[in-house]
Amino acid sequence: MQDVCRRFEEKQALLGVLGLGYVGLPLAVSYAKAGFKVLGFEVDQTKADAINRGESYIIDVDAQELAAAVAAGTLEATTDFERLSEVDSVNICVPTPLGKTRDPDISYIQSAVASIVPALHKGMVVILESTTYPGTTEEVILPELAATGLEVGRDFFLAFSPERVDPGNATYNTVNIPKVVGGVTDACTEVASCLYGQVMDTVVPVSSVRVAETVKLLENTFRSVNIGLVNEIALMCSAMDIDVWEVIDGAATKPFGFMPFYPGPGLGGHCIPIDPFYLSWKAKQAGSEARFIDLAGQVNSFMPRHVLNLVTEALNQREKSVKGSRVLVVGVAYKPGIDDVRESPALDILELLTGRGARAAWYDSHVPALPAGISGEKLTEWTTGSLGDFDAVVVVTPHPDLDHDLLLAAGPVVIDTRNALKGKTGDNIVRL
C-alpha cells in the first residue's frame, strides 16, 4: 500500500480515466495539470481523436489547458482498452441512465469493468465515480475483480467516490469540490484518498463504499424533493393568483432555517431527474418505501404539462388556439450557460406543443441541434422581426446572453417559466 501511495505522491503513477465526458474529461485534465501522466479511455473514437488533436468538446474544459497537456505528452486518449494494463489507477466515469421502465441501467459500468478485468494487476487502484445505487461497487464490481484471484485491499484497491461537478459553475470545479471517498477496505480508502489528495483541495474519507454511494444520492434527492415542493407551491400560488417568485424572495430574507429553491418547467440534466430513482429502486428491494422521491417525481414531471396549460390559456385570452399557432421555445439546454440537452424539459414542451398541433420552433444560442426524434424549426436570428412572427414565446432556459428587452419589444405573449423577466412589467408577460 505504501508503495502505491508513494507512486502517487512522487507523481510517478500513470493515471487512467475511463469515459471522457462531462465528468471524465475535466478529471483527466485536472490530473494532468497536477503533474501526472494521464491515459484516457473512450469508446467513442471521435472524442479520443478530438482530445489527441488538443480539442475540447466539454464546456468546462479549457481548450488551451487541454491542448497544452496533450502537447506536453501528459494527456493522451485511446480506444485501445488493452492499454489499461499500463495504468496504476483507473477512475470509471461512464453514464448511468435509467432504463425504459425507469430502473437503473448499469450496463455501462458492467462493460467498463469487463474491460478492466483482463488488465487488473498488483497495486492497481479502481475507483467508480459514476452515480449509482448503494451496493454497486461491492455487489457488481468487486466479484468480477476478485474472480481474477487478486485480493482486494492487498493486491488491488477498490473504492467509490461520487463525482459532484456542476457543469457551467464558475466557482466550483473538479478540484475545489470536496471529494468524498469510501473504500471496500480501510486500505482501499487510504490509497484512493492518497490519489485524490495530490489533486483535490479537500478529501473526505467515509467509513464505507455504501456510505459514499448514498452521499451522492442524498444530495440529488434533496434537490429533487425541494424542487418538487416549490413546484407544488407554485401550482397552489397559481390557483390562488399569488406571485410565487415574490413569496420565495420574501421567505429567503430569513437568515436561518430556509434555503430558496425555485419552480420551473421541469427537471433536466443527467443527475436530478435520474439519481433519486437509483436510491428508491434499491430501497424498495430492501423493503423500504421512497414516498418523497416518488411524489417529487410526479410533481416535477407534471411541470411541462403545466407550461402547456399556461400557453393554452395565454393564447385563449388572445382568441387563438394552440393548434396552428406559432410557438417559440427559448433555451433547450437543461440549464443556463451550458449546451447539454439531456432530459431537458424543453424537449418535452416541444413535443407537447407539436402534439397539440402548434407550429413549434426553438432558439438556443448554446445548442446547435435538437436530439434525434424531437422536431421543431430552428430559429437562428434573435431580432424584433423574427420574434414578432410568433404568437407565443416560452422562456424555458434563459442563457446569460439573452436579450430580454428585444423579446418584450417584439410583442408576442411571453410565458416566463424561470422568472427571467424579473422586474419587467407588461400585458404580454405570463409568469409561471
Among 4, 13, 15, 20, binds ligand NAD (CB under 6 A): 20
Residue selected from 4, 5, 13, 18 as contacting ligand NAD according to rule CB under 6 A:
18
Q: Which residue has the cell 418505501?
A: 289
Q: Does 165 bind ligand NAD (CB under 6 A)?
A: yes
Can you tell me which of 19, 183, 265, 273 binds ligand NAD, judged by CB under 6 A? 19
Neighbours of 145 (CB within 10 A): 20
CB closer to ligand NAD out of 40 and 412:
40
Would you say 321 and 308 are in contact if contact means Cβ atoms under 8 Å apart?
no
- How many residues sit in the footprint of ligand NAD (CB under 6 A)? 27
For 330, which DSSP code? E
In angstroms, the CA 43 to CA 346 distance is 29
Locus of grid cell 489527441: 52
Of 13, 23, 310, 370, which one interacts with ligand NAD (CB under 6 A)?
A: 23
Name the nearest CA neighbour of 139 among 103, 182, 184: 184
In angstroms, give the least distance from the CB of 86 to ligand NAD.
16
User: How far is C-alpha 320 from the chain's CA centre?
Assistant: 38
In 3D space, the residue among 248, 348, 271, 250 whose CA is nearest the CA of residue 306 turns out to be: 348
5 catalytically annotated: no
Closest CA to 184 of 203, 160, 161: 160
Among 1, 9, 44, 119, binds ligand NAD (CB under 6 A): 44
Q: Which of residues 270-329 bind ligand NAD (CB under 6 A)?
A: 270-271
Site for ligand NAD in 83-142 (CB under 6 A): 93-96, 108, 111-112, 130-131
10 Å Cβ neighbour count for 80? 9
Q: Which helix (H) or strand (E) covers residue 116, if one does?
A: helix 107-116
Q: Which of 22, 36, 156, 363 binds ligand NAD (CB under 6 A)?
A: 22
Do residues 371 and 354 lie in contact, with contact meaning Cβ atoms separated by under 8 Å? no
Question: By CB under 6 A, what part of segment 243-262 binds ligand NAD?
Answer: none
What is residue 361's three-state secondary structure? strand
> Which stretch in 35-43, 197-205, 285-293, 410-418 sits in contact with ligand NAD by CB under 6 A?
35-43
Q: Which is nearer to ligand NAD, 107 or 316 (CB)?
A: 107
- Between 114 and 406, name the residue whose CB sits nearer to ligand NAD: 114
Rule CB under 6 A: which residues touch ligand NAD?
18-24, 41-44, 47, 93-96, 108, 111-112, 130-131, 163-165, 167, 270-271
Q: Catalytic amino acids? A: 271
